[in-house]
């Protein structure tokens, strides 16, 4: 064994654990890591414009492909605190990312040294593990433990904080014999699977709720197979959207207070049994426990033991990785089907399909208004984007309406920050998705405020040739907060429009406020402004041509009417609808309607 710097050992471990790209911002206290990466040459780096942006890029990278773990890097002090939002977002959605921070020398940690902060203590509530490594010889094993923890049980983020003198100290380390630690994942037993399938078999109107854990476990095919064997409809959660294609006969819509379909809520209310797999009963999916659980039994499968019974006590709980559980469920279901032990559920499936295809349960999208209604923008997206499109979004009316009107057909094609919902997440997350996959079609979706939060990260896309399309729906409002303020009879401090002295009288009269086109182009990207539905198709073609030639992000800014209320409510049986129901074929969510 040869002596090497502790930080060089860390880089060797990162390579052995499969890291090939990192996101971050160099600084004095973390420069030894950058020097080691440059020396060894096996790990690339994308320079963010804001350290929070780097953490969201790491999230996007992880969420894009099974097995990925994004890595974000920052120096001491505010770099770590800036990345707390990314760690919170990753923790909330069970996303493994590794955050590496520099730190002041050990001897000065208690002396209020420049940019010395106890980042490990700050990060502990939003990570699986946060540590400041004080002994150089522990550095490679800290990284080994980090990857083991991120992959074991419920996935989640880890922070490793490295004092600069620890990084630079020499240690004995042999990378040639290094092996990653096997991940621990609990697995359902045969008896548990039999009991769960037996309980489902006793019901008349069962549903499967498919959560983000199914996607994390790369088990969507098994989920669909189980649903098809049992002939049971599926309601994906927002984080599980794509586990079953939107046009699959057993896809029964999403349920919830905001990101839901009318037919999804109606089907949930009509059910008598719910089989939850890899979900956590989030409150925006359930509304009140009383309404959600009334009249139905529940089986809950989750990889994290403390999730079982956290929101409400299920009738039966199973602690298991979603893939391991689904393998058992599918095996039992196949045997029971062969033995003729499964009920004929064709009438229940037909009832659910009837709701999904009835105009009574569809929201109207076919508006011709100028300025545009957001509903029409999503119709335009459905008609101009293919089944393999990956959508990236975070929070706001743009995301809520997107979930109500867009269509997703594959896992990891809806990349969404679910529980935390930090504004500004979308741009850097989309760049992280692009870094993970250079080829897929990526379309990000933002309202104007989310877009303005971290707009500077577009320069990263220009510099590092990370092209994607960003649909910006601009109503110059904090739309979701404005709608929420209706309960207080106010419209206070949520308007973003102002008289921009650098814009023409016509532009000012339309109430843009920020000139996004100029800002985007100033950051090295392309921007196209769209005022009517007829212009969207041409804008998308122009964006594709631009990206093919210049390899930078393209923003399509759709100018909306100032005020549009989007359907939402206080309970799944009390969602307020603000617009007319669907009125013609253009509103029907089918492949035929999208192509005509």
Domains defined along the chain, listed by start? 3-177 (3.40.50.970), 190-359 (3.40.50.1220), 364-566 (3.40.50.970)
Query: Which of 290, 293, 309, 289 minimizes the C-alpha distance to 301?
Result: 309
What is the Cα–Cα distance from 164 to 31, expressed in whole angstroms?
9
Q: Residue 44, by phi and psi: left (phi above 0), alpha (psi -120 to 50) or beta?
A: beta
What is the Cα–Cα distance from 447 to 554, expressed in whole angstroms?
15
No. of helices (H) and no. of strands (E), the chain: 26, 21
Active-site position among 4, 11, 25, 572: 25
Bridge partner list, 300: 276, 317
What is the Cα–Cα distance from 219 to 478, expressed in whole angstroms?
37
Beta strands, E only, 434-487:
442-447, 469-474
Check: CB of residue 148 under 8 Å from CB of residue 183: yes
Check: CB of residue 254 under 8 Å from CB of residue 400: no
What pairing do the DSSP bridges indicate for beta strands 575-576 and 568-569? antiparallel
How much is the pLDDT for 501? 79
Longest dimension (CA), the chain: 76
Active-site position among 11, 274, 362, 423: 423
Handedness of CA 383, 385, 390, 396 (dihedral sign): negative
Active-site position among 478, 496, 528, 560: 478
Give the residues of the chain that fall short of pLDDT 70: 1, 505-511, 582-596
Q: Is 209 a catalytic residue?
A: no
**C-alpha dist (Å) from residue 186 to 280, 315, 320, 323:** 17, 20, 5, 10
Active-site position among 19, 30, 51, 95: 51
What is the Cα–Cα distance from 580 to 583, expressed in whole angstroms?
8
How much is the pLDDT for 112? 80
Query: Which of 491, 471, 473 minimizes the C-alpha distance to 482?
Result: 491
Taking each helix axis from N to C end, the angle separating 322-338 and 220-230, rounded to the nearest 10 degrees, works out to 30
What pairing do the DSSP bridges indicate for beta strands 526-530 and 316-319? unpaired
Report whether the peptide linkage leading into residue 371 is cis, meaning its omega lies within 30 degrees of zero.
yes
What pairing do the DSSP bridges indicate for beta strands 170-172 and 3-5? antiparallel
Q: Is 51 a catalytic residue?
A: yes
How much is the pLDDT for 203? 96
How much is the pLDDT for 396? 86
Q: Is 581 a catalytic residue?
A: no
What is the Cα–Cα distance from 67 to 63, expressed in whole angstroms?
9
**What tokens does 84 get?**
């707390």
193 CB-near residues (< 8 Å, 6+ apart)? 325, 328, 329, 331, 332
Q: Is 481 a catalytic residue?
A: yes
What pairing do the DSSP bridges indicate for beta strands 21-24 and 414-416? unpaired
How much is the pLDDT for 482? 84
User: Which backbone phi and psi does 319 adopt, to 5 degrees?
Assistant: -90, 110
Bridge partner list, 545: none
Check: CB of residue 156 under 8 Å from CB of residue 127: yes
What is the Cα–Cα distance from 318 to 277, expressed in whole angstroms?
9
**What tokens does 19 get?**
């890291």
What is the Cα–Cα distance from 474 to 451, expressed in whole angstroms?
9
Question: In this structure, which long-range contacts are made by residues 142-150, counting pairs with CB atoms below 8 Å and at least 24 apart in sequence?
Answer: 143/10, 143/13, 143/14, 143/17, 144/13, 144/17, 144/178, 144/180, 144/181, 145/181, 146/98, 147/17, 147/69, 147/98, 147/180, 147/181, 148/180, 148/181, 148/182, 148/183, 150/69, 150/96, 150/97, 150/98
Coil, helix or strand at residue 448 = helix
Check: CB of residue 276 under 8 Å from CB of residue 299: yes
Check: CB of residue 273 under 8 Å from CB of residue 230: no
Active-site position among 359, 481, 494, 508: 481
């Amino acid at each position: 064994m040869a002596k090497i710097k502790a930080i060089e050992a860390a880089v060797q471990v990162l390579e052995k654990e499969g890291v090939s790209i990192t996101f971050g911002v160099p600084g004095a206290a973390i420069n030894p890591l950058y020097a080691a990466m440059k020396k060894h040459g096996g790990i690339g780096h994308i320079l963010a414009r804001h350290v929070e942006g780097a953490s969201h890029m790491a999230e996007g990278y992880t969420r894009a492909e099974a097995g990925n773990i994004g890595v974000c890097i920052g120096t001491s002090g505010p770099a770590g605190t800036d990345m707390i939002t990314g760690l919170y977002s990753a923790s909330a959605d069970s996303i493994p990312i590794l955050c590496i921070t520099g730190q002041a020398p050990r001897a000065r940690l208690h002396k209020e040294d420049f940019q010395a902060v106890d980042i490990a203590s700050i990060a502990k509530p939003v990570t699986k593990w946060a540590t400041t490594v004080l002994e150089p010889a522990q550095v490679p094993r800290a990284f080994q433990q980090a990857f083991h923890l991120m992959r074991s049980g419920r996935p989640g983020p880890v922070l490793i904080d490295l004092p600069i003198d620890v990084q630079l100290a020499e240690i004995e380390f042999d990378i040639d014999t290094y092996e990653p630690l096997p991940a621990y994942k609990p697995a359902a037993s045969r008896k548990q699977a039999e009991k769960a399938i037996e309980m489902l078999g006793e019901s008349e109107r069962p549903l499967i709720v498919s959560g983000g854990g199914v996607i994390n476990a790369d088990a969507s095919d098994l989920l669909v197979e189980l649903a098809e064997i049992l002939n049971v409809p599926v309601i994906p959660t927002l984080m599980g959207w794509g586990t079953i294609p939107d046009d699959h006969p057993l896809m029964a819509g999403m349920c919830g207070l905001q990101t839901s379909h009318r037919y999804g809520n109606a089907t949930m209310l009509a059910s008598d049994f719910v089989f939850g797999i890899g979900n956590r009963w989030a409150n925006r999916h359930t509304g009140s426990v009383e309404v959600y659980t009334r009249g139905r039994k529940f089986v809950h499968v989750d990889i994290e033991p403390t999730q079982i019974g956290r929101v409400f006590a299920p009738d039966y709980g199973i602690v298991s990785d979603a893939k391991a559980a689904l393998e058992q469920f599918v095996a039992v279901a196949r045997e029971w089907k062969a033995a003729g032990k499964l009920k004929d559920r064709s009438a229940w499936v037909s009832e659910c399909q009837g709701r999904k295809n009835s105009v009574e349960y569809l929201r109207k999208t076919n508006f011709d208004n100028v300025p545009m209604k957001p509903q029409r923008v999503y119709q335009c997206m459905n008609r101009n984007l293919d089944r393999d499109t990956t959508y990236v979004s975070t929070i706001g009316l743009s995301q809520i309406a997107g979930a109500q009107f867009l269509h997703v057909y594959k896992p990891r094609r809806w990349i969404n920050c679910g529980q935390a919902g930090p504004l500004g997440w979308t741009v850097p997350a989309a760049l992280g998705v692009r870094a993970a996959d250079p080829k897929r079609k990526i379309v990000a979706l933002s309202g104007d405020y989310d877009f303005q939060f971290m707009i500077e990260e577009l320069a990263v896309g220009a510099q590092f040739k990370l092209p994607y399309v960003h649909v910006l729906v601009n109503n110059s409002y904090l739309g979701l907060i404005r709608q929420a303020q209706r309960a207080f009879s106010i419209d206070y401090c949520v308007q973003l429009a102002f008289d921009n002295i650098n814009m023409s009288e016509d532009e000012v009269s339309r109430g843009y406020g920020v000139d996004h086109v100029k800002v985007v182009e100033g950051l090295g990207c392309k921007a196209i402004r769209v005022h009517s539905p007829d212009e969207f198709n041409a804008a998308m073609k122009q964006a594709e041509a631009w990206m093919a030639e210049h390899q930078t992000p393209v923003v399509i800014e759709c100018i909306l009417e100032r005020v549009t209320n989007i359907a939402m409510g206080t309970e799944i049986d009390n969602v307020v609808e603000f617009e007319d129901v669907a009125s013609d074929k253009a509103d029907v969510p089918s492949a035929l309607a999208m192509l005509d």
